[in-house]
Amino acid sequence: MSVEADGLVGLPVVVLGAGPVGLAAAAHLAERGVDFVVLEAGGEVGASVREWGQVRVFSPWRFNVDGAARRLLAAEGWQEPDPDGLPTGHDLVDEYLAPLAKLPRIAPYVRLGHRVTGISRAGVDRVRTRGRESAPFVVRARSDAGVVQLRARAVIDASGTWRTPNALGSGGLPALGEPEAAGFVSAALPDVQGADRDAFAGKRTLVVGAGHSAANTLLALAQLAQQEPGTEVVWAIRSTGAQRTYGGQDADALPARGALGSRLRALVDSGRVELLAGFGIDALAVAGDRVSATAVDGRAVLVDRIVSATGFRPDHAIASELRLDLDPVLEASRALAPLIDPNEHSCGTVPPHGEAELAHPEPGYYLVGMKSYGRAPTFLMATGYEQVRSVVAFLDGDLEAAAEVHLELPETGVCNSDPDASLGTSGCCGAPEPAFAARGPATGIAGGLLAVPLPLIEASPSGSGCC
């Protein structure tokens, strides 16, 4: 897309979502002097992060701040938190995202309470080709004041996937009886030690899922079981073993992430967490004040509560009038999908990628951040920061900077390409691969570095659950 295409001159870039990656996009746009508007569905920036605010991430502050955002904040006297500290979700919002959104170069262009309902081209539907590239985008949103409509030269969708979790059913569809049992099911990352404590204290809880959000909840529930008699913890995974969840442990480049896997494994080995391996849920059935979960193989477990930590998926409904080229498996862009396919990759490195891999047949429309990964579960904030740096450079006509992408990711200590690796498999890589990868001349790391794929608690030695 020509940055000076007829009909687009003078229009802003519209960014969807005011989370870490959306605000990073705003920071890069502001730094380059490109007009923009940020639309956020929630009532504050980082609204989705706030919902898991009690959770402490496993990467230190120095990796959680985008480069352009850091420069803009520093120019206004911002005091960056201890670079070695591990923030909670609340910390990320209060100490980083909120100050960033209040900057004079960003604040006037952030609109809260604007939920986008559709995107198209002015006067051009999905079918029409002639004049498409020169037609402005039309972004329609609903706010308290009613329906609003903006015109844009480009759209950067950083709205994420938090609002569209996967179902409990092992085949991707909701389990039989799942709608009827909804009152017994909690979404991922409940505040077990805080606001949601009464829902789990003294209860038998089934946590479903093999990702980091499941591990976080299992640790919190195990801690609660030490404090509240009668609290029991059951963990159901589809794979035949939990090695992938345990991760690299001592071999992990991030000690907090490695410790998470080690502590979870110790809980399972001690019997404090009951592991149901190969337990793909087929059906739920309410039984009085309890709920029964039945696996595909016929096994069943009776519990008081279920935590659904089965991951997330993108919702592309708002872009139904745009021309997207989505991988049929992951729902990521077709060029990006092979680089992140969880059927093939479980290492801590992802090849560097930017505007070229994120582009769609719809010129000027980009999926970035968690949503860009589709159903792949391995996204890191650092990846999103580099994505938006590259995309914004391209939109500003700086094609050299857009093409020169860099990425530094930490080794997980796991290089097992088998998602059903057994419990006894070590999964270790041996000597770690280089953590730095680049496409183009290696002139240094641009933008932010690494953060979290999903927020994780690091249980401290004192058992507080945070440190």
Tens of pLDDT, residue by residue over 198-212, are 999 999 999 999 988
Instruction: Decide: 211 and 377 in contact? Cβ < 8 Å.
Output: yes
Instruction: Decide: 155 and 141 in contact? Cβ < 8 Å.
Output: no
Of 226-240, 277-291, 327-341, 370-384, the one with minimum mean pLDDT is: 370-384
The model's pTM is 0.86
Residue 59's pLDDT band (boundaries 50, 70, 90)? confident
pLDDT at position 212 is 84
Determine how β-strand 204-208 pairs with β-strand 305-308.
Answer: parallel
pLDDT at position 60 is 86
pLDDT at position 255 is 61
pLDDT at position 5 is 54
pLDDT at position 178 is 98
What pLDDT, in 10s, does the model give residues 433-460? 333 334 443 222 222 223 333 333 333 3
Report in angstroms the alpha-carbon separations of 84 from 49, 62, 255, 258, 467. Answer: 20, 7, 12, 16, 12
pLDDT at position 249 is 55
pLDDT at position 98 is 98
Query: Pick from 386, 397, 391: which is nearest to 366 by CA?
Result: 391
Cα angle 129, 133, 134 (rounded to 5 degrees) comes to 115
Query: Pick from 389, 450, 112: which is nearest to 257 by CA?
Result: 450
pLDDT at position 463 is 30
Average pLDDT, the chain: 86
Mean pLDDT to the nearest integer, 156-185: 97
Amino acid found at 246: Y
What pLDDT, in 10s, does the model give residues 220-268? 999 999 999 999 999 999 999 998 888 755 555 566 666 788 899 999 9
pLDDT at position 411 is 56
> 13-163+312-404 is classed in which CATH architecture?
3-Layer(bba) Sandwich (3.50)
Instruction: Decide: 239 and 420 in contact? Cβ < 8 Å.
Output: yes
Does residue 425 surpass a pLDDT of 60?
Answer: no
Mean pLDDT to the nearest integer, 280-288: 98
> 182-308 is classed in which CATH architecture?
3-Layer(bba) Sandwich (3.50)
Distance between CA atoms of 459 and 213, rounded to whole angstroms?
A: 14
Of 156-160, 210-214, 422-426, the one with minimum mean pLDDT is: 422-426
pLDDT at position 435 is 35
Instruction: Decide: 384 and 399 in contact? Cβ < 8 Å.
Output: no
Does residue 461 surpass a pLDDT of 60?
Answer: no
Instruction: Decide: 187 and 165 in contact? Cβ < 8 Å.
Output: yes
User: Could you tell me where in the chain the CATH 3.50.50.60 domains are found?
Assistant: 13-163+312-404, 182-308
Residue 351's pLDDT band (boundaries 50, 70, 90)? confident
pLDDT at position 445 is 25
Instruction: Decide: 213 and 189 in contact? Cβ < 8 Å.
Output: yes
- DSSP assignment string, 74-91: HHTT--PPPTT---BHHH
Mean pLDDT to the nearest integer, 28-41: 98
Of 63-67, 205-209, 396-400, the one with minimum mean pLDDT is: 63-67
Assign residue 209 a region: left if phi > 0, alpha if psi is -120 to 50, beta otherwise? left
Distance between CA atoms of 112 and 19, rounded to whole angstroms?
A: 12
